[in-house]
Structure 1
Amino acid sequence: MTNILRIDSSIKGEAAVSRRLTSRIVERLLAAHPSANVVSRDLAQGIRQIDGAWLGSVFTAPEERTAEQAETAREADAILAEVKAADILVIALPVYNFAPPAQLKSWVDHIARRGESFVYTETGPVGLLTGKRAIVAFTSDGTPLGSELDHASGWLRQILGFFGITDVEFVAADRMVFGAEESLARAEAAVEALAA
């Protein structure tokens, strides 16, 4: 069975273009894989930012954790487990001020755990989350995908690759203020052209 993990991150809720695109992408995938299991996580509903207490919790042996540390580690482990179980990740990447939303960065921070998503070797880092595909719904008001102003898509491709996820595709509804209908039409066509 194919496992699909859908990650939304826009603070605009149902009005978000990125959410519209992640819905369309998941629909496209389900048409090809009707028995697929879909897990959804809306980061705009809240995700803890990592801090010293988080670090102490996830890197303390389970039997030595306090009750508070155990709860923090449980939440962090659940986020990581969703990614590990996924065959396909569908990730919303709305661009805020030329960069990814803080809540998407926090989600990545929960996943970036040495020994779980990557290891360091004598020849450099090696990602442990291999064999997965990521489809990213990139949306922006004015930032063109891949431009020198875009500090979001390159970062996400880099960190996913660091985790071993190198099959990464982007569907873009970018520069929306300069022609929303045209941009959305291009994005919808790109969704339809995705190999399912």
Structure 2
Amino acid sequence: MNALVVNSSGRTEYSVSRQLVAELMTELEIKHPDLHVHYRDVAAGMPYVNDLMIAGFYTPVDARSADQTQALAFSDLLVQELKAADMLIIGVPIYNFSIPAALKAWIDLIARAGLTFSFSADGPMGLLHDKKAYLVVASGGVEVGSPYDMATPYLRQVLGFVGITDVEIISADQLNLLGEQPIGSAREAIQRIHAIV
């Protein structure tokens, strides 16, 4: 069984989302000793979609130029990491009501027509099925699930768009208002996890 862990906090120290992701992974590895984990830290740097990439997206593989192929190589790698995973764990701090820019850049690179979704007569269809996703969310002031939370509905939408509909949210929100209590609640949620898929 394979897991892909995507951390997106701009902080490497004192990051609540990173700490809770680490605790979740410890729990999952205890419960599933056969779990193989791949880590992707998007905060370390993600390219933004550009003209060359977009041209490559809409060009058949065998017709792409060498420059287009090179421009899409990293996106192809990210897609393969996601396709290989049975489980996706995303660490998400809420920045200005939404997700970090680096996480949005990752999403733009993995949302690929023909690879992670396809078009049909009924509209777009996700191609990534039978995957479980955990969103480990931390916020200073935003209450997860409130009208101010634009992060978790967006992530549910985009994951569903690529076919990942089994999404569980573990949140430590309103930390600036509530202190350590939300972290304790998130840890309790982690302890209640029993099944991956």
Q: TM-score range by the shorter chain?
A: over 0.9
Question: Match for residue 71 of structure 2?
Answer: 72
With the length of structure 2 as denominator, give the TM-score of the two structures.
0.94
CA-to-aligned-CA distance 1:107-155 (integer Å, 9 cap, x gap): 1111111111111211222110010000010110000011000000000
Question: 2:40 and 2:159 mapped to 1: Cα distance?
Answer: 17
Question: 2:82 and 2:63 mapped to 1: Cα distance?
Answer: 26
> By how many angstroms is 1:33 displaced?
1.2
With the length of structure 1 as denominator, give the TM-score of the two structures.
0.94
- C-alpha contact 1:58 1:76 (8 A) present in aligned 2: no
- C-alpha contact 2:31 2:194 (8 A) present in aligned 1: no
Question: Match for residue 157 of structure 2?
Answer: 158
Question: Match for residue 23 of structure 1?
Answer: 22
Aligned residue for 1:40, secondary structure, equals strand
Question: Match for residue 189 of structure 1?
Answer: 188
- In structure 1, what residue type is equivalent to 2:88? L
**How many pairs align?**
195
Question: 1:60 and 1:141 mapped to 2: Cα distance?
Answer: 43
- C-alpha contact 2:133 2:166 (8 A) present in aligned 1: yes
- In structure 1, what residue type is equivalent to 2:25? V
Question: Match for residue 124 of structure 1?
Answer: 123
- C-alpha contact 1:58 1:72 (8 A) present in aligned 2: no
CA RMSD of aligned residues (A): 1.4
- In structure 1, what residue type is equivalent to 2:182? S
> By how many angstroms is 1:66 displaced?
4.3
Q: In terms of mean alpha carbon deviation, does 62-71 or 118-127 score higher?
A: 62-71
Aligned residue for 1:126, secondary structure, equals strand
Aligned residue for 2:180, secondary structure, equals helix
- In structure 1, what residue type is equivalent to 2:77? A
Q: In terms of mean alpha carbon deviation, does 81-90 or 54-63 score higher?
A: 54-63
Percentage identity across paired residues of the two chains = 38
Question: 1:72 and 1:39 mapped to 2: Cα distance?
Answer: 23
- In structure 1, what residue type is equivalent to 2:48? Q
Aligned residue for 1:136, secondary structure, equals strand
- In structure 1, what residue type is equivalent to 2:93? P
- C-alpha contact 2:57 2:113 (8 A) present in aligned 1: no
Question: Where does the alignment leave 5 or more consecutive residues of structure 1 unmatched?
Answer: none
Question: Where does the alignment leave 5 or more consecutive residues of structure 2 unmatched?
Answer: none
Question: Match for residue 174 of structure 1?
Answer: 173
Q: How does 1:96-115 map to 2 (within 5 A)?
A: 96-115=95-114
CA-to-aligned-CA distance 1:27-86 (integer Å, 9 cap, x gap): 111111112110000001101111212112344444554444332211110000011000
